[in-house]
Structure 1
C-alpha cells in the first residue's frame, strides 16, 4: 500500500495533463488513521463520478463492540454513519471547481427505511465507507490542485467527523442502536405470540404527499381499539402499547378517505425498520409479508395456478402455466402462488388494486354464469384454507363486498383514521344474511419444483455468445456474465436489451434495492439458474451468498456505492418478472 504523500506526488505530476491520466491514481493509500482506495476513475468530467472508499479499523474507530454485535444494531449503525457522511458531504459538495461533475462529493441519500447498503459496511475488523467524487477538470484537462483540496482537506475532515466515535454525539449513536434493538424485540414478540403485525399507539401513519415519505404534520396519531391492544416490554424503551394483529384473516373496512389504505401501506412497509422521527418506528410487520395486486401484462413462467384457475376453454395446462401477457386475475393468482413459494407468512391485499373477478363472485353472478363455465376460483374461497392449511395469514382492505365478513377473524373499521374493532357486531349481522360460498374443494399447495431454463442471449442482442470474452465465470459460453446492467430508478432495470418491470412490487423501498436486484439477477443467470435447480433453490443460493460473502461476488472489480439489500421475497419477484 502506498502512502498519502505518494498520492500527492503522483497527483501533482499529472496536473494539466489530459483527463485519462487520472486513471493512474487508482489504488490504495494510507492516510494516517484511515486507508483511502480509489476504485474506479471516471472517463471524463461529464461521466458518472469516480468511485472511492475508505477503511477504518475498529481499533481506530472506537465504537463499542456491542453496537455492531447483532445484525439489527450493525445495520442501524451503518445507516447512521451513511446519513452522517451524506450530511457532511453537503458542506463541501462542488466547493472544488471545474467543468461537468468536478467537485461533486456524494454518497447514498437514505430514505425513511433502515436498509443494509453498500455505502457503509461494518465487518469483523473494520468499517468501510463507499462514495463518489467528481475529479476536477477545466474542460478535459486535469485540475490536480482542486482534487488535492478534496482528497487532502475536505475528505479527511468528513471521515474524521463521521467514522470516529469520539467525534460523534454518543447519545445519538446509542439511541440509534437502542431503537433497532427494540424494533428487533417486537419482531421476536410477533413470532412468540402468534401475531403478524403491531402498530404502536401514537404512531403517525399518513405521509406528507404522494412524492414524499415524510410524516404528515398535524395528522391524527394512531390509537388501538381496546379489544386488540397489547402491551410489550422492550429492552430499552420499556413498556409500549398498541394494536396487535393476530394470525388469521383480518379485514379492514370503512368509508372512503378514512384511512384504510393508509394503514395497509404502513403495514406493507413495516417489513423494514424506520428511523427515529418517521412516525412508523414501531409499526412492525412480519418480515416475510407480501403485498399482492393485479399486474396486467406481466410475464408468468411455469407457475402452478391451478388452485385458482382451471379448465380453461383452450385446455391450457394451469399446473405449469406460462404467458408473456397475463390478465389481472391471472397475474394475481400467480402472485399468490409465487408468494407461497417465497415462504411468505402474510398477504397484504387492497381491493382497490386487485382484480375483482379474482377476489370474489357474488351469488347472483354465479346463478347467471354457472360454476362449470367459470375457470376462476376466487380468493374468497381459498383464504381460509391458505391460513388453516398453509399457515399464510391475510390482511385485506375491502369496501365493495360484504362476503369477506364471513371469512374474517378480525374486522376493523377505520373511522377518521381511528380503528374500531367491529368484529362481534358484524358477526351478529352475518347471522341475518345468507352466507356466500367461502370454501372451494381440492385445496392443495404444490411442491414448488418448478425451474427456469438457462437464459440465452443468442438472437436477443445481435451478438454470438460473448464474442470470445470470458467473465468471472471464465467459461465464455452463451450465458449472461457480461450482461450490461442499467437501473431506471426504483421501478425497473435492464439487462442488455430486456427491461424488468418492478413497478408493482410495492415493497421495494429504494432504487438501490432495484440496482442490487439487477446485480443479483445477472449473477443468477450467469452462475446459478441452470434449468435443473428449482426457483426456490436458486433464490436460496443467491441469498446465502449475499448473506455470507457480501456484495463482492455480485460486482466486477470493485463494490460500488449504490446497492441496498432486498428481501428474499423481492429476489423471487425479480426472477419471476424476467422474461428470459
Structure 2
C-alpha cells in the first residue's frame, strides 16, 4: 500500500497541472493510525465533490465492544460519531481556497432520527471503522492547487480523525449514554409486542416541534402526560422505571378541537418507527416499526393492485381485482395505499381525517338513504376496520375532528385537550348510543391478491443510458419520469431518498426476474439489507457517502409509485 508521503510527493508533482491530473491520486494511502482512500475524483472544481473514505482498524479506534454489542447500539454509535466528526470538520470547511467547490469538506448531517448511514459504518465483529465524506479538490480556475489539498489531507483531516474517531479522545460518559438509550429504546419496542401494544408515549415527552421547517422540540412545549387508565410503567435496563401511555392493539380514535394536538400526537407516532436522539423530546415515543401512515394521494400511479376489498363495480367496468390507473382518485389511491401497506406486512395503520378521502372513510346514514348502497362502489374503511382488527390483527390509529361515526367501532377513544390526552372511551360510547351505527362488513375472501409478478425494465440494464436524479425530499427522476414521494410522510431524511433511488436501480438490475412476485422480491431485499445493510449498494467496492436506510415499507412505496413499473 502507498504511504502518505507517496501521496504528498504526487500532489507536489501535479501542482499547477490541468485539473484532470488529480485522477492520478485515486487509491489508498497509509496515514498514522488510519488509511485514507481517494475513491472518486471530481471532473472539475465545479462538479460534484470528490469522494474519500477513512479506514481505522478496530484495535486502533479502541471502542469497547459493549458500545456496539447489538445492531441498534452500533447504529446509534455510528450516528454519534458522524455528528462529532461533522462538528470538527465544520471548523475547516472552505478554509482551503480556490474555484468552485474547492476546500469543501462535508459529511452527512443527521437530524433527530437515528438512521443507519453510509457515512459511518462499523464492523460488528471487530469494530473496524469506515468514514465516508466529500472533499472539493482545490484549483485556481481549472488548474490544480495541490498546496491547498495538502492542507486538507495532511493538516485538517488528521486533527479531525484524532479528535473525533478514537475512543481515547472522546467523552466516554456521553458514548455510554448513547448506548444506554439505544438499549432502552430496543427494550420498549420488544415490550410493545409482549404487552399487546401498538405504541408507547412516555410522560414528559415534548411532541410539538419548533416550527414547520424544524424538527427540533418546541421550547416551552407542553409535556405529555398519560391518562391514568392507559398508564403503563416499564422497567428499562438503564433508565429504570418509566411511565407513559400505552396504546393497545385494536382501533384507537384520537379526537378533540382544532389546535389541541391531535395531529401532533399522530405525527410523533408515525415517526416513532425510528429511534430519536436524547433531547429530542420524542426519544421515548416508540411505535411498532412496521406502522404505515395512510392518506389519499390524488394523481398517483397504481399498477395491477387488488383494491376489491374496498372498491367494486365501477361504472366504467374497470377491474378492481387488478386495478390500473395513471391518475388515481382520492378514494382509489387511499384504497391502494391500504392494500400496499398490508402487502408489506404492516400491522398498524395511521390515518388522519384531514388527509383522507371522505368517501373512502365514511358514508353517513343520510347519504346511504339518498344514494342507495347498490349505487355506491366504495365500501368505506369504517365498515372494514373492525374485521381487519379482529380477523387479521391489523390495528388502526385514527385522527378525527368532524365525524363521530368512528365512536361506534373504536376500542379506545382519546380526546386531546390542550395537548393532553384524556381517555373518554366510556363517555363517547354512551353518547354514541343515541346515534345510528354503521354495520361492519366482512369480505367474502382474502383481503387482496398480492401475486404481482414484476418484469425487469430494459432501461435499467447496465449497457443502457439511465438518468436518475433525486429532487430533495419530493421525488426521484428516472429518465425524466418522476416518482412522486411527497405523500410518504414517514421518510425523515433526504439521504433516505438517495438510498431509495439506488435501491430501485438495485432491484431492477438484480432481483426483478419476471418470475418472482413483488412480495417475494421485497422479502429477499429485506433479508439482504438486514444482513449486509447499505453495503449491498456498493459499486466497484465504493459506497456512496450520502445514503440513509429507509424501511422496507418505503421501498415498496417507491416501487409502487414508479410509473415505468413493468407488470
Partner residue of 2:42?
42
Alignment of 1:159-174 (within 5 A): 159-174=161-176
- CA drift of 1:447 comes to 4.2
In the alignment, structure 1 residue 532 sits paired with structure 2 residue 534? no
- CA drift of 1:129 comes to 0.4
**CA distance in structure 2 between the aligned counterparts of 1:324 and 1:532, rounded to whole angstroms:** 24
Q: Is the 8 A contact 1:491 1:511 kept in 2?
A: no
Secondary structure, in 3 states, of the residue corresponding to 2:321? coil
Partner residue of 1:71?
71
Give the TM-score normalised by the residue count of structure 2: 0.97
Q: Is the 8 A contact 1:519 1:555 kept in 2?
A: no
**CA distance in structure 2 between the aligned counterparts of 1:364 and 1:510, rounded to whole angstroms:** 44
Secondary structure, in 3 states, of the residue corresponding to 1:250? strand
In the alignment, structure 1 residue 29 sits paired with structure 2 residue 29? yes
Q: Is the 8 A contact 2:362 2:381 kept in 1?
A: yes
Partner residue of 2:111?
111
In the alignment, structure 1 residue 235 sits paired with structure 2 residue 219? no
- 1:439-476 residue CA offsets vs partner (Å, 9 max, x unmatched): 3553632341112232243xxxxxxx97xxxx3xxxx5
Partner residue of 1:354?
356
**CA distance in structure 1 between the aligned counterparts of 2:267 and 2:25, rounded to whole angstroms:** 47
Give the TM-score normalised by the residue count of structure 1: 0.95
**CA distance in structure 2 between the aligned counterparts of 1:542 and 1:523, rounded to whole angstroms:** 9
In the alignment, structure 1 residue 220 sits paired with structure 2 residue 222? yes
- CA drift of 1:432 comes to 2.4
Partner residue of 2:9?
9
**CA distance in structure 2 between the aligned counterparts of 1:553 and 1:184, rounded to whole angstroms:** 25
CA RMSD of aligned residues (A): 1.2
**CA distance in structure 1 between the aligned counterparts of 2:11 and 2:130, rounded to whole angstroms:** 24
**CA distance in structure 2 between the aligned counterparts of 1:160 and 1:296, rounded to whole angstroms:** 52
Alignment of 1:66-465 (within 5 A): 66-123=66-123, 124-125=125-126, 126-442=128-444, 444-457=446-459
- 1:179-221 residue CA offsets vs partner (Å, 9 max, x unmatched): 0110000000001111000000000000011111111101100
**CA distance in structure 1 between the aligned counterparts of 2:269 and 2:177, rounded to whole angstroms:** 24
Secondary structure, in 3 states, of the residue corresponding to 1:135? coil
**CA distance in structure 2 between the aligned counterparts of 1:454 and 1:226, rounded to whole angstroms:** 54
Q: Is the 8 A contact 2:95 2:103 kept in 1?
A: yes
- 1:378-410 residue CA offsets vs partner (Å, 9 max, x unmatched): 000000011111111000001111110001000
**CA distance in structure 2 between the aligned counterparts of 1:544 and 1:575, rounded to whole angstroms:** 18
Structure 1 spans left out of the alignment, 5+ residues: 458-464
**CA distance in structure 2 between the aligned counterparts of 1:110 and 1:443, rounded to whole angstroms:** 45
- 1:521-557 residue CA offsets vs partner (Å, 9 max, x unmatched): 0111112112221111111222222232333432433
Partner residue of 1:566?
550
**CA distance in structure 2 between the aligned counterparts of 1:56 and 1:376, rounded to whole angstroms:** 59
Partner residue of 1:460?
none
Q: Is the 8 A contact 2:105 2:136 kept in 1?
A: yes
Partner residue of 1:488?
471
- 1:138-195 residue CA offsets vs partner (Å, 9 max, x unmatched): 1111111110011001001001111100000111111011101100000000011110
- CA drift of 1:433 comes to 2.3
**CA distance in structure 1 between the aligned counterparts of 2:506 and 2:545, rounded to whole angstroms:** 18
Q: Is the 8 A contact 1:406 1:438 kept in 2?
A: no
Q: How many pairs align? A: 561
